Amino acid sequence: MKKIYSGKAKDVFEKNENEVVIYFKDDATAGNGAKHAIIEGKGILNNKITDLIFKHLMSKGIETHFISKLSDREQLVKKVTIIPLEVILRNYSAGSFSKRYGVKEGKKFKEPTFEISYKEDALNDPLLNKDHAIAMEIVDEKEYEEIKSKSKEINKILTSLFERAGIILVDFKLEFGKDKEGKIVLADEFSPDNCRLWDSKTLKKLDKDNFRNDLGNLISSYEIVLERLTNVK
Ligand code: UDP
């Protein structure tokens, strides 16, 4: 299969005209690639967690690119054109929000916040507002509103799922793509690499902040997330 894209944590191969294979690597990066390490087994865990989350979302009516999990590290997905937006939902303050606005980590928001950045590594993924995204012709107004309402719906479904797993969903990043018919579907992955997850009782961090801030063993945290999600009734 021809490799058509090599990302920081995943590679993408062309299967045929309509389908691609995503390969989950063990690379961990932070600060737009400034910090890098290979963490043995991370790709396998992220593939399993993404498989579980996408299947759950689809069972609740969310349309995604996901077709099937092929192996420990591979997924078959529908070929889409990724919309170059990093869509971020926040239920609590943390990370860049805390830093930018001087808000202590862990403030629970009355309403989830929705924000978008321009997905462009060379520019360091700059923050955008709706007008900017429309001016740059990344989306039109209708598409912007569709992405916003889909993201909020996904947040509701996943906040409830994680709550049942004894985990607080603090924030997360989504990416959307357009399929051949121009339909907007959820793409990319959903794993502890691109969300913040805190243990509901101890508030222990179970996500990539363990790597970003050298807090502890990343793999054991990701294993806890997978095990708890697997056991949700
Ligand atoms: N995030 C991501 N990729 C990015 C930027 C952010 O997956 O390029 C995720 C991150 O893991 C967190 C959420 O989006 O769950 C919010 O990230 P934030 O803006 O706080 O940025 P950070 O300082 O964590 O990079």
Q: Is 7 in the pocket of ligand 1 (CB under 6 A)?
A: no
pTM over 0.85: yes
User: What mean pLDDT is predicted for residues 27-39?
Assistant: 93
Task: Convert the pLDDT of each residue in 155-197 to its tens digit.
Answer: 999 999 999 999 999 999 999 999 999 999 999 999 999 999 9
Q: How many A from CA of 56 to the centre of ligand 1?
A: 22
Task: Convert the pLDDT of each residue in 63-121 to its tens digit.
Answer: 999 999 999 999 999 999 999 999 999 999 999 999 999 999 999 999 999 999 999 99
Q: What atom in ligand 1 is closest to the CA of residue 88?
A: 14
Query: What is the C-alpha to C-alpha distance for residues 207 and 192, in angstroms, rounded to an integer?
Result: 5
Q: How many A from CA of 191 to the centre of ligand 1?
A: 12
Q: What is the dihedral of CA 99, 101, 104, 108, to 10 degrees?
A: -120
Q: What is the pLDDT of residue 32?
A: 83
pLDDT band for position 33 (cuts 50, 70, 90) = confident
